[in-house]
Amino acid sequence: MQNRLKMPKNINSFTIKHKSCALILTVILSCLLFSCSENKPVIGQVFWQINKFHDIEKQIYYDRLSLFIDAQDEDGLEDLKTLYLINDREEVFWKITDKTWIQKTNNDESWFGSNTIAMHDFSFFPAGRYRIILLDDAGEREETEIILPAYEKGFSDEAFPSAVIRDNTLFPSVNSEAVWFYSTEMVLLNETAVNEKARREITIPEKAKYIFIYRYDRINGYGLVAGPYIKSRL
């Protein structure tokens, strides 16, 4: 029978093999220790709101969901990478990454999210439980949830804000409360508040491509958004 256990030819080869094993073991232990030192993200507060959206390009109306989380990570905010919104019962989910989400800082709070979440068939959002999962660069995760109740699905067309663009100036309607300026890549460039005391002539940022007008319907408890107004066409 062939002997499967072969003795080393000399002491040097035996020592080298053991040194290699020791090095591999050191690397493995270092990786384990490093992974243990990774900090998971933390979700503080959650903000969500249904917005009625008027797509003035396609002349259609549908609902969007604004979702923002107040999140922290001891490894740095740049470590946060992906946000999921999941409705298990309806088997639908949305993925928002650090390349597409909006990041806002308010005092010591850092908010991440999106204003453009919509059902894939542009239907209304089903009532029920939605899981929110935040992942960082190392795959560490934090999970929370929101419960979306049944809500008013109708709206009044006259309630929507609007705007007119002349040259490089935006003139929002009197019922407007905010203007969102987006780049060609749909990255939020600027958010400008509009109210009765504010000057209702807004200079459009140079890099702005798409413009959305917003107001909040306090009676019905949802937002009203109209757009996109496209700068390059004027």
Q: Tell whether 101 and 192 lie within a shared domain.
A: no
Q: What CATH number is given to the structural domain containing 69?
A: 2.60.40
List the domain range (segments joined by +) for residue 78. 42-148
Each residue's pLDDT tens digit in the chain (234 positions)?
333 333 333 333 333 344 455 555 555 555 444 444 578 999 999 999 999 999 999 999 999 999 999 999 888 888 899 999 999 999 999 999 999 999 988 888 999 999 999 999 999 999 999 999 999 999 999 999 999 998 888 888 889 999 999 989 999 999 999 999 999 988 889 999 997 666 678 999 999 999 999 999 998 889 999 999 998 654
Q: Tell whether 177 and 220 lie within a shared domain.
A: yes
In this structure, is residue 5 part of a structural domain? no
In this structure, is residue 184 part of a structural domain? yes
In this structure, is residue 3 part of a structural domain? no
pTM to 2 decimal places:
0.76
- What the block records as the tokens of 23 is 């090095």
In this structure, is residue 169 part of a structural domain? yes
User: Got the DSSP string for the chain?
Assistant: ---S-PPPSSHHHHHHHHHHHHHHHHHHHHHHHHHHTPPPPEEEEEEEEEEEEEETTTTEEEEEEEEEEEEE-TT-GGGEEEEEEEETTTTEEEEEETTTSEEEEETTEEEEEEEEE--TTS-PPPSEEEEEEEEETTS-EEEEEEEE--------GGGS--EEEETTEEEE-TT--EEEEE-TT--EEEEEE--TTS-S-EEPPTT--EEEEEEEETTTTEEEEEEEEEGGG-
Pick the closest to residue 216 from 48, 52, 45, 47 (CA basis): 52
Q: Tell whether 34 and 128 lie within a shared domain.
A: no
Q: Tell whether 50 and 107 lie within a shared domain.
A: yes
In this structure, is residue 64 part of a structural domain? yes
Q: Tell whether 55 and 144 lie within a shared domain.
A: yes
In this structure, is residue 4 part of a structural domain? no
Q: Tell whether 54 and 140 lie within a shared domain.
A: yes
State how many domains the chain has: 3
